[in-house]
């Protein structure tokens, strides 16, 4: 299974990258995690042979701004969009006139499915739980090709993140802040928090994404952080746009 980071910035696009979007290619599915501006690169990987599923965590714009790019694609096997309860109403409002091409007029079939907290077979198994953020944000745990991949985007440190990441082969966690930084009003992770979740959960590998564009102003700052964070979690990588690895 391949994991490809299409957008790795939090908040806004800069020379370091696009806002958050991660692609997971399993044997039978293309899975997109969040629809930040990085989503425009998806067609480099879509050969039209696998159904595409998009999982939205929440509706802060750095996670959905790329929805207006959907009409660029031609997903031959259709697109299913999964998200928290309320997703249908929100998407019908914003992926519509006067903002962009309406979902019903996209050149492929779109289905929206709301996921309450719990485990769902869609047909692969996905467990979702609310994380700790200023707006309701779902984290996801996927079972694909015999592996577990957990995605914990915008969140402060919380039990649900640890539960979702238990024994994961890969935990993809946000890392908006630098060492020691916290914000009580608008919770996000710093590297130590992300490592605490990975360690608490017994995750095998930790990939960091969603670097706040205002905090990490260059890729060198991510690499410097990686060097320090690897002292407390050896199997940690910071992501960059277009980075790809096998799980």
Cβ at position 57, least distance to Zn ion in Å: 8
3-class SS of residue 208: strand
Give 75 or 177: the residue with its C-beta nearer to Zn ion.
177
Of residues 39 and 148, the one with the C-beta less far from Zn ion: 39
Q: Among residues 35 and 201, whose Cβ is nearest to Zn ion?
A: 35
Distance CA 178, CA 82 (A): 31
Question: Could you tell me the two tokens for 179?
Answer: 């060492």
Q: How far is the CB of 107 from Zn ion (least distance, A)?
A: 29
For residue 58, the minimal CB distance to Zn ion (Å) is: 6
- Per-residue burial over 127-154, b if 16 or more Cβ lie within 10 Å, else e, is bbbbbbbeeebbbbbbebbeebbbbbbb
Q: Omega into 225 within 30° of 0, i.e. cis? A: no
Site of interaction with Zn ion (CB under 5 A):
10, 60, 62, 154
**What count of other Cβ atoms lies within 10 Å of the Cβ of residue 88?**
14
Q: Which helix (H) or strand (E) holds 227?
A: helix 219-229
Q: Which is nearer to Zn ion, 124 or 130 (CB)?
A: 130
- In the bound state with Zn ion, the residue whose beta carbon lies nearer, of 38 and 110, is 38
Minimum CB distance to Zn ion, residue 36 (Å) = 8
Cα-trace Rg, the chain: 17
Least distance (Å) between residue 13 CB and Zn ion = 13
């Amino acid at each position: 299974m391949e994991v490809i980071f299409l957008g790795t910035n939090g908040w806004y696009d800069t020379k370091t990258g696009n806002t958050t979007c991660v692609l997971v290619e399993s044997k039978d599915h293309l899975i997109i995690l969040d629809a930040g501006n990085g989503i425009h690169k998806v067609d480099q990987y879509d050969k039209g042979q696998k159904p595409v599923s998009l999982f939205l965590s929440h509706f802060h714009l750095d996670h959905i701004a790329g929805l207006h790019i959907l009409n660029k694609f031609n997903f031959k096997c259709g697109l299913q969009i999964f998200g928290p309860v309320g997703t249908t109403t929100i998407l019908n409002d914003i992926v519509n006139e006067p903002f962009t091409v309406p979902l019903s007029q996209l050149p492929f079939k779109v289905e929206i499915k709301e996921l309450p907290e719990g485990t769902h077979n869609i047909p692969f198994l996905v467990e979702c739980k609310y994380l700790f953020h200023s707006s309701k944000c779902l984290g996801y745990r996927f079972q694909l090709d015999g592996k577990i991949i957990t995605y914990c985007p915008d969140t402060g440190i919380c039990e649900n993140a640890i539960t979702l990441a238990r024994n994961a082969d890969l935990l993809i966690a946000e890392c908006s802040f630098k060492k020691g930084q916290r914000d009580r009003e608008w919770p996000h992770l710093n590297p130590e928090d992300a490592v605490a979740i990975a360690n608490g959960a017994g995750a095998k590998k930790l990939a960091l994404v969603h670097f706040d564009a205002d905090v990490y102003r260059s890729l060198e700052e991510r690499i410097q952080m990686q060097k320090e964070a690897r002292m407390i979690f050896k199997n940690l990588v910071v992501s960059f746009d277009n980075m790809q690895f096998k799980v």
